[in-house]
Amino acid sequence: MSSDNFTSDIIKGATKGFLDWSSENIALLVKKFKEKKLAFIKDPQTIEIVKQEYRSGESKFYQKYVKNKEILFLVRIGLVLRKLENNETKLQNLRDKIFRRYKVRGLHIAEFVQAGILNRYLGLIIEDLSFVEELEKEIEEVLGNIEKHTLFVKYNENPFEIIKKVSNIVDSHTPRILIIFGIKSSIEIIRKAKEKIKQLMKNYELGEVSGKDKEILFFKRKLHKNN
């Protein structure tokens, strides 16, 4: 056998082996990687819900525009939190695990998605965008710098603290949209501070989502039209 034939046979064999390995094992490898990533959840029922959310329309939409893998994962976990809202025990259990693994920022990203704030945020900015690439950039900005765009009100804060924080945020970087979000006992804190905040935010239009389980204020900066 000539050296050329020998080399050719090696290349063919290696290529065939790679293709065989790919077709038989890549799907399994991806599955194992995904399961390892979900292992911190521990609860089998919740893990199954996560897997289902990977196939949901909302998850697939965000997959197109969220390129950061960790943020995309937290978006999907946020969708799972929404699914668990009727099961307080499992909901709190997953929230605690997100906090332990991804800290405050990770929990806030997941809560942002759970509460439907991301969807509403995109609805507010979409008319101002001209290109698809801008949408990707906006999603990356709001999720990657969540604390600059959203004030998550804690249960032990008071209205005066919230008003001061809003003032500091607006003075520091004048966001296009500022979101104030609270659940449970923090709802009343936001409601008590709302009128004062509206006075601070005179250059912003207010939209709100109010319910027994959450309070969300959306302040969108007014665009000054040229005469």
Kindly give the confidence (pLDDT) of every residue in the chain, 227 residues in length, as a single tens digit, with 9 standing for 90 and above: 554 554 455 445 445 544 454 545 545 444 555 667 888 998 999 999 999 999 999 999 999 999 999 999 999 999 999 999 999 999 999 999 999 999 999 999 999 999 999 999 999 988 888 788 899 999 999 999 999 999 999 999 999 999 999 999 988 888 899 999 999 999 999 999 999 999 999 999 999 999 889 999 999 998 765 54
Same domain, 80 and 155: no
| C-alpha of 56 from chain center | 15
Same domain, 161 and 188: yes
Give the model's pLDDT for residue 126.
Answer: 87
Give kind and range of the element (H or E) at residue 183: strand 177-183
Report yes or no: 139 and 65 within 8 Å, Cβ to Cβ. yes
Same domain, 138 and 33: yes
CA dist 29 and 224 (Å) reads: 53
Same domain, 169 and 137: no
Sign of CA dihedral 138, 163, 116, 36: positive
Same domain, 126 and 153: no
Same domain, 140 and 37: yes
| C-alpha of 10 from chain center | 48
The number of beta carbons lying within 10 Å of the beta carbon of residue 166 is 20
CA dist 134 and 37 (Å) reads: 30
Same domain, 206 and 108: no
**Does 215 map to a domain?**
yes
Give the model's pLDDT for residue 5.
Answer: 52
Whole-angstrom distance between the N-terminal and C-terminal Cα of the chain? 84
pTM of the model: 0.83
Same domain, 45 and 128: yes
The number of beta carbons lying within 10 Å of the beta carbon of residue 8 is 12
**Does 60 map to a domain?**
yes
Give the model's pLDDT for residue 130.
Answer: 79
CA dist 220 and 207 (Å) reads: 8
**Does 14 map to a domain?**
no
> Among 115, 144, 173, where does a domain finish?
144
CA dist 210 and 120 (Å) reads: 13
CA dist 218 and 181 (Å) reads: 9
Domain coverage including residue 187: 147-227
Same domain, 151 and 199: yes
Same domain, 158 and 114: no
**Does 7 map to a domain?**
no
Give the model's pLDDT for residue 33.
Answer: 52
Same domain, 157 and 123: no
| C-alpha of 8 from chain center | 50
Could you give the number of structural domains in the chain? 2
